[in-house]
């Protein structure tokens, strides 16, 4: 057991989603929890994981596999949903009716949902939902949190030191998450600003995508640093317009995650930007890993929001033009380099 643990978790802990980060969460849980239940939709994936074949060879013997959400809801009080934002609401519509107020849900999805927006007309802030808001909409669960921070799955799987943030309105959710995940190699911070943590985690994917565009053109660290700092400023302004606190963007879920994701070739959003800059068609990138490149989906949603609320966000706007309108990257860089910024730090 972790020496940091304050409470003992005796029940099974569930992980909904058997992708790379879902398996990473399960591996972290295995250091503190005796029984972990992973949900996957596919019977073939279940069979491979049970047999510990290929990429699943190192799965802890503490991990069980199921294709039944009913089993997860029945056996587990604490559940970590770890699936792409595109399918999150659909998953919650299946899991939600099985939950009650005694369940704890801590999701690890860094994206946004706009499925409630009208097909025509302007999008409004109330149409955009974070994953915790979807959980509350689709279930009776109220003890909800999110996990966010510089958490590149491959590095955590290699047992490299890392940290994350659990955000929730409820202290008991934070403590439960810390008890489940914290170890000598994985630090877990806590905050009550769940909206800020979720928005920081989602918005930084757009800046990481833009950083990949620069990397794909072979540009250096000066312009990368400029992009990241100005991108952070735009993240803060968009977050404030949606009701978040500035502090959320200055911790591990904001600038910490931003630095890691916008500089690592292990980041899906960064790699997608590199591929675009080097001429790979958008459809090919989406087809290969589209559900997991959250930056594309977030960029579309936030571009509509910024237009509706008249938020000044030149980086988000120009990246949208490059990604979805075919604007040449050289023109985009020239636009940003000649943009009449008034001051450096304008959000404190």
- Whether residue 1 has pLDDT greater than 80: no
98-107, 162-171, 291-300 — which is least confidently predicted?
A: 291-300
Question: What distance separates the 2 farthest-apart alpha carbons in the chain?
Answer: 60
| Cα 204 from Cα 83, distance rounded (Å) | 18
What distance in Å separates the CA atoms of residue 340 and residue 113, rounded to the nearest whole number? 32
Q: Is 21 annotated as a binding residue?
A: yes
Q: What pLDDT, in 10s, does the model give residues 31-74?
A: 999 999 999 999 999 999 999 988 899 999 999 999 999 999 99
Looking at residue 200, its pLDDT comes to 98
Share of the chain above pLDDT 70, in %: 97
Q: Does the annotation place 145 within a ligand binding site? A: no
Q: Does 149 belong to an annotated binding site?
A: yes
- Cβ-based neighbours of 133, under 8 Å, separated by 6 or more: none
Domain 12-195 has what CATH class? alpha beta
How confident is the model at residue 25, as a pLDDT?
98
| Residue 17 is labelled as binding a ligand | yes
Q: Give the sheet arrangement for strand 76-81, strand by strand.
A: 63-66, 36-39, 12-16, 76-81, 104-107, 143-148, 162-168, 186-191
Distance CA 252, CA 163 (A): 8
Say if CB 194 and CB 147 are below 8 A apart: no
Burial 281-305 (b: 16+ CB within 10 A, else e): eeeebeeeebebbbbbbbbbbbbbb
Q: Is 129 annotated as a binding residue?
A: no
Q: Is 230 annotated as a binding residue?
A: no
For residues 149-175, average pLDDT: 97
Task: Provide the pLDDT confidence category of residue 118 given band limits of 50, 70 and 90.
Answer: confident
Q: What is the model's pLDDT at position 327?
A: 96
Residues 248-282 have pLDDT tens digits of 999 999 999 999 999 999 999 999 999 999 999 98
Quickly list DSSP for 27-69: HHHTTT-S-EEEE-S-HHHHHHHHHT-GGGTT--TTEEEES-H
Residue with tokens 């979805």: 324
Higher-pLDDT residue of 70, 5 = 70
Q: Residue 294 annotated as binding?
A: yes
pLDDT averaged over every residue in the chain: 94
Can you give the pTM of this predicted structure?
0.94
The answer on whether 20 is annotated among ligand-binding residues is yes
User: Are 141 and 114 a contacting pair, CB within 8 Å?
Assistant: no
From the list 46, 129, 204, 271, the catalytic residue is 204
273 appears as a binding residue in the annotation: no
**Class of the CATH-defined domain 202-337:** mainly alpha
Cα–Cα distance measured from residue 275 to residue 113, given in angstroms and rounded to the nearest whole number: 25
Q: Where in the chain is the domain with CATH 1.10.1040.10?
A: 202-337
Q: Is 119 tagged catalytic?
A: no
- What CA–CA distance (Å, rounded) separates 124 from 243? 13
- Cα end-to-end distance, the chain, whole Å: 42
pLDDT reading at 291 higher than 70: no
Q: What confidence category does residue 3 fall into, taking pLDDT thresholds of 50, 70 and 90?
A: very low
DSSP conformational letter for 123: -
DSSP 315: H
Residue by residue, DSSP assigns 226-246 as: HHHHHHHHHHHHHHHHTT--G
How far lies 347's CA from each of 204, 226, 246, 262, 344, in Å?
16, 16, 8, 21, 9
For a pLDDT cut of 90, what percent of the chain falls above it?
86
CA distance 137 to 323: 32
Q: Where in the chain is the domain with CATH 3.40.50.720?
A: 12-195
């Amino acid at each position: 057991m972790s020496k940091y643990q304050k409470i003992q978790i005796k029940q099974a802990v569930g992980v909904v989603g058997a992708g790379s980060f879902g398996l990473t969460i399960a591996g972290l849980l295995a250091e503190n929890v005796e029984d972990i239940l992973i949900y996957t939709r596919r019977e073939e994936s279940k069979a491979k994981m049970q047999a510990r074949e290929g990429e699943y060879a190192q799965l802890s013997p503490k991990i069980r596999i199921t294709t039944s959400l009913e089993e997860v809801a029945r056996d587990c009080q604490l559940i970590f949903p770890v699936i792409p934002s595109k399918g999150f609401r659909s998953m919650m519509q299946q899991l939600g009716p099985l939950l009650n107020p005694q369940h704890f849900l801590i999701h690890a999805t860094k994206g946004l949902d706009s499925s409630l927006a009208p097909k025509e007309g302007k999008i409004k802030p109330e149409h955009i939902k974070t994953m915790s808001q979807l959980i509350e909409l689709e279930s009776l669960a109220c003890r909800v949190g999110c996990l966010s921070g510089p958490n590149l799955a491959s590095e955590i799987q290699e047992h490299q030191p890392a940290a994350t943030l659990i955000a929730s309105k409820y202290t008991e959710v934070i403590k439960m998450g810390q008890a489940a995940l914290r170890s000598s190699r994985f630090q877990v911070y806590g905050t009550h600003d769940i909206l800020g943590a979720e928005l920081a985690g989602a918005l930084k994917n757009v800046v990481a995508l833009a950083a990949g565009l620069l990397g794909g053109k072979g540009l250096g660290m000066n312009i990368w640093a400029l992009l990241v700092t100005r991108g952070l400023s735009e993240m803060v302004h968009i977050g404030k317009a949606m009701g978040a606190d500035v502090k959320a963007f200055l911790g591990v879920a904001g600038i910490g995650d931003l630095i890691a994701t916008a500089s690592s070739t292990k980041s899906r959003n960064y790699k997608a930007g590199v591929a675009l800059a080097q001429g790979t068609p958008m459809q090919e990138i989406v087809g290969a890993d589209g559900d997991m490149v959250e930056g594309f989906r977030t960029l579309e949603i936030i571009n509509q929001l910024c237009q509706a609320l008249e938020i000044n966000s030149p980086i988000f706007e120009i990246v949208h033009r490059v990604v979805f309108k075919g604007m040449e990257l050289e023109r985009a860089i020239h636009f940003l380099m000649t943009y009449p910024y008034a001051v450096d730090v304008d959000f404190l």
